[in-house]
Amino acid sequence: MEPSPGFRRRARVAASPDRLLVLLSALIACGLALHARPAGAGGVEVGIPSVPVAGGVAIRLPLTWRAFTPAKVRVYVRRAGATRYRQLPPEAVAPDGRAVVVPAVLVGPPGVELYLVAADAAGFATTSPPVDPSHRPHRIPVKPAGRLELISPDPTREVPGSALEIRVRGPGPGRFRVVQLDRTDLTALARVTDREIAVVPPEPPDPGEHRIIVAWATPEGDLVTREWTIRVAAEPLRREVFARGGVSLRYAVPVRSSSGSPRPVADGNLGLSFGGRGDGWDAGWNGVNVQYVRDRAGDDLTLASGFAFDLEAGGQRTEYGDVTVQEAPLVAPSFARRGVLAELRGWGTEFHVFRVSAVAVSGWESGLASSGGEITGVSVGRSLLADGGLPVTVVYVRGENRGVDGVDSAGGLAPSQGDVLGVSASFRVLGAEVRGEFAHSRFDPDTRDGQGEDRDTALELTLASSVGPVELGLGYHRYGTGFASIANPTFTADREGVTGRVGIPWGVGRVGLDLTHEWDNLSWEPDRGRVYSTTGALSWSYNGPDGPGLSLTVRRSVQYSRSTPSGAQDVHNTDDSATGGLSLAGEGWSAGLSGGLTRLRDQDEGTETQTRSGSVSGQYAPSPGCSLGTAFTLNRTLGEGSQQTSRVVVLTGRVPLFSESWSASFHLSHAANVSSDRTQDDVTLSGSWRVAWDVGQVGGWFDRLPWSLALSGSYARTDDRTTAGEDSVDVRVLLSVEASLPVDLGAGF
């Protein structure tokens, strides 16, 4: 039988070597495809936007997996028209694998191209698009957007770190959100206008390459970001000394006074900072503020505020003056005193040594040999693990509070002395951070009674953890009856308890629940019972970047006593409170509203007291040098058969006059206190005003005169309707000449 012509044509095609090669390639491709996606396996779909997206705005693309569980996902992105792809970091893919975020710096016109490769735990792979993804990628059109412009520094040139100022101009109406130098957020330090942002880093960056990242929001809410790379030049070593500050003088002549004929007032203020820096060292003497006042009491030259001298060299630091000591909370909590503090580092260990005044001092006193007593302490801190984990700090403090005339001038305490030794440590376990501190004290609360020292211990343990967005906290504390630290003599001991906290995001805010249960009389003293206290607080807060600030808190505290001996007073009371606040802000204005309600009930006495409070405040500043502010506060307390009410209204303002060289300011307040039982009924009205002419802003030759003329006045009137003869009125008007001279001296070598 003769084969048909069609059969002969098919046979010739099949017999062609080229056709056979094509057929073989197709079979191999099918085999590979079957391995990559076995029969019955699924894939992934990428949610590509149906409309062009804005340039410079991050894109979030949803991923839908069909019968496929990814173990590893890789995403490759390039700008449309480019030849090479860039692989996104693993964190660009959501932890659950259901979304991928393309960074804003990669989103630009005319579009973005991307493809995805995923593999499951067995090694089978899938792609999106499923066929030839690198040559046929997903395409997302990008519409042109405004472009952020870097004004300074010039990215094509090296810039000295000490002269670095970042200035970026926005493309149009909008709002700057973030400006970063590498990983440091500088937004809070920036000067921002409608179209430009400028910031000087607080410390010059090290020589080398650095990244500038700026985010800017359009009025529609789109976030535009841009990144630049700059190079900071290595600067030659510079040593310098400087003196900065200013001198101010004032001479005032009374024009009118209702309290006799006072003498003219003359005063002056000298505020200076001295310092120097060089190779590996830095020194400065800050806060030197010397004040001279001449009035009826005669001439007086005082150090009006504190001072601080600091010297740093080779990583070691010493401070003298008004220093802040902040060691372990139980031994030496944060407190400010006049004295000396040294911070030394070496061999992986940090040493702190301090000697400060036991009470607050002022004026020219050094604090090293204060008449009120001194506190001396040393602390040693070191991490016990090589990676910096398990930091441990040991602190020892000893001191004496001699007081003034046998009584502590700061708090009315008797002369005391003692020492305390404490150890604190922290570590992480199962994702939670655990902190603990133990302290042992010897303390004599009154050296005059001859009773000697009390010895006792204190312990604090806290655990903090996060489970997703939920924050958890637990704590335990025990402060022995006789525990005390000379560095914190008003600390309340003789209590033990547990605490708990939960913080949960809810809607646009955050909800917090705090619980505390405490009890006292740890030594079971027979002349008093044990008082238990349980407090619970539920709070909600919201502070959006563009929205209002809101806060609401409801709190209940219950106290009750047990094992109260005969003749002692039982305790059983409940304290309920609710507080709330609202804050609003806009261009040139701000407003706030707050209120609270407190109810205290004593079940034993059968009494109840309520306190209601509220306040409203506002500020309006339409332009520099012009502002108006007001505040109203109301407090009302309702007790057994009585009611007390207080009201305060305040109005302040500042306005320019005639020209920039003239200004006027005023302050008015009205306060009233009234009680229903007539034990208090008084009203106070006070105010002040000032009109000033700044001669230095006139221009021309007057620029050389850093002085001003001012006419000011004050009025104060008190009407006391309950006590005869307590009414008073005071009126004063002063004409003053004020001069200020800035000091800015420096020399490099």
Tokens of 456: 């006792």
Q: Which of 323, 317, 399, 415 is nearest to 360 (CA)?
A: 323
Q: Cα separation of 670 and 634, whole Å?
A: 12
580/538 Cα distance (integer angstroms): 12
- Distance, in Å, from the CA atom of 128 to the CA atom of 67, rounded to the nearest integer, reads 14
Cα separation, 483 vs 331, in Å, equals 10
Higher pLDDT pick, 308 / 114: 114
Arithmetic mean of pLDDT, 40-58: 75
412 confidence band (pLDDT: 50, 70, 90): low
Band of pLDDT at residue 37, cut at 50, 70 and 90:
very low
More confident residue, 550 or 250: 550
For residue 504, give both structure tokens: 């949960």
Q: What is the DSSP letter of 469?
A: T
In which band, very low, low, confident or very high, does the pLDDT at 702 lie, cut at 50, 70 and 90? low
pLDDT at residue 493, rounded to an integer: 86
Contact present, 609 and 639 (Cβ < 8 Å): yes
Band the pLDDT of 38: cuts 50, 70, 90: very low
Average pLDDT of the residues in 535-545: 83
Q: Is the pLDDT of residue 494 over 60?
A: yes
Q: How confident is the model at residue 7 (pLDDT cuts 50, 70, 90)?
A: very low
- The band of 709, judged by pLDDT with boundaries at 50, 70 and 90, is confident
- Distance, CA of 324 to CA of 698 (rounded, Å): 44
Cβ distance 538 to 511 under 8 Å?
yes
Taking the CA atoms of 156, 157, 158 and 159 in sequence, report the sign of the dihedral they define.
Answer: negative
Residue 470: predicted pLDDT: 85
Separation CA 270–CA 293 (nearest Å): 12
Lowest-confidence range among 268-282, 406-420, 571-585? 406-420
- Token pair for 608: 């109840």
The 3-state DSSP class for residue 453 equals coil
The whole-angstrom separation of Cα 180 and Cα 224 is: 14
Q: What is the pLDDT of residue 33?
A: 43
Give the residue-averaged pLDDT of 14-31: 46
* Cα distances (Å, whole numbers) of residue 482 to 329, 529, 553: 17, 17, 35
Average pLDDT over residues 649-654: 91
As a whole number of angstroms, the distance between CA 247 and CA 496 comes to: 54
The mean pLDDT value for 150-164 works out to 86
Residues with Cβ within 8 Å of 476's Cβ and at least 6 positions away in sequence, in order, are 459, 460, 461, 497, 498, 499
The pLDDT tens digits of the residues spanning 110-126 come to: 889 999 999 888 778 88
**DSSP symbols for 363-425:** TT--SSS-TT-EEEEEEEEEESSTTS-SEEEEEEEEEEE--BTTB-TTTSPPPEEEEEEEEEE
- pLDDT recorded at residue 281: 74
pLDDT at residue 135, as a whole number: 86
What's the mean pLDDT when you consider all of the chain?
80
pLDDT tens for 218-276 read 665 666 778 889 999 887 666 778 787 777 777 777 776 666 656 677 777 777 777 88
* Three-state secondary structure call for residue 487: coil
Digit-coded pLDDT (tens) for 669-694: 999 888 887 777 888 899 998 888 87
CA 186 from chain centre, in angstroms, equals 13
Q: Which of 364, 368, 396 is nearest to 380 (CA)?
A: 396
**Residue 219: predicted pLDDT:** 61
Residue 93: pLDDT over 70: yes
Model pLDDT, residue 170: 78
In this structure, the number of other CB atoms found within 10 A of the CB of residue 536 comes to 15
pLDDT computed for residue 478 by the predictor: 94
- Dist. CA 384–CA 26, nearest whole Å: 64
Contact 148, 171 (CB under 8 A): yes
Sign of the Cα torsion 382, 387, 389, 390 reads negative
Query: In this structure, are residues 234 and 208 in contact, taking their beta carbons and an 8 Å threshold?
Result: no
% of the chain at pLDDT higher than 90: 20
Most confident region among 18-22, 337-341, 423-427 by mean pLDDT = 423-427
Each residue's pLDDT tens digit, 313-371: 877 889 888 888 888 888 888 777 888 899 898 888 999 999 888 777 666 665 566 56
Asked if residue 284 lies in contact with residue 309, where contact means CB atoms within 8 angstroms, the answer is: yes
> 554 with 597: CB under 8 angstroms?
no
Strands 158-160 and 223-233: parallel
Banded model confidence at residue 379, pLDDT cuts 50, 70, 90: very high
E strands in 446-529: 454-467, 470-479, 495-506, 509-520
Alpha carbons within 13 angstroms on the beta-carbon side of residue 445 total 14
pLDDT of residue 30: 45
Q: How far, CA to CA in Å, does 711 sit from each of 93, 475, 624, 735?
A: 67, 59, 22, 5
Alpha-carbon gap, residue 588 to 627, rounded angstroms: 9
Residue that the structure tokens 């209002």 belong to: 548
598 has a pLDDT exceeding 90 = yes
Stated as kind and residue range, the H or E segment containing 383 is: strand 374-383
93-107, 116-130, 275-289, 704-718: least confidently modelled range: 275-289
Residue 257, pLDDT score: 66
Residue 569: half-sphere exposure toward Cβ, Cα within 13 Å? 8
Q: What is the pLDDT of residue 237?
A: 61
pLDDT of residue 413: 64
Round to whole Å and give the CA distance between 142 and 80.
9
- Of the two residues 256 and 729, the one the predictor is more confident about is 729
What integer pLDDT is reported at residue 41 of this predicted model?
Answer: 46
User: What is the separation, in whole angstroms, between the first and last Cα of the chain?
Assistant: 112
